[in-house]
Amino acid sequence: MNPYTIVNLINTLVNFYSTLIVIWCLLTWIPMKRDGLLADIAAVIGSLVNPYLNLFRKMMPSTMGIDFSPVIAVLALTVAERLLISIIL
């Protein structure tokens, strides 16, 4: 497999997961009915994103009611991506 293909795949996966984190954050701001379609979508995305975010929530509790774990999680994901790409290339 070509190294640039692997780099492209890693970049695509990281961008997709980062986008899921941002979408989940935006969905948490919207008031939803418990049995609505939007709540189901938020639950599915939350089940994909929350295990990763919980790693950062343990290390860094919310400050004044604001959860900064998504920001730190996306930054950590980006740093890991860049490190992995620098190793491959």
Q: Positive or negative CA dihedral for 20, 77, 52, 8?
A: positive
Q: What is the pLDDT along the chain (89 residues), one digit of tens a residue?
A: 788 899 999 999 999 999 999 999 999 998 888 888 999 999 999 999 999 999 998 888 777 878 889 999 999 999 999 999 999 88
pTM, 2 dp: 0.87
Among 24, 26, 29, 54, smallest CA distance to 42 is for: 24
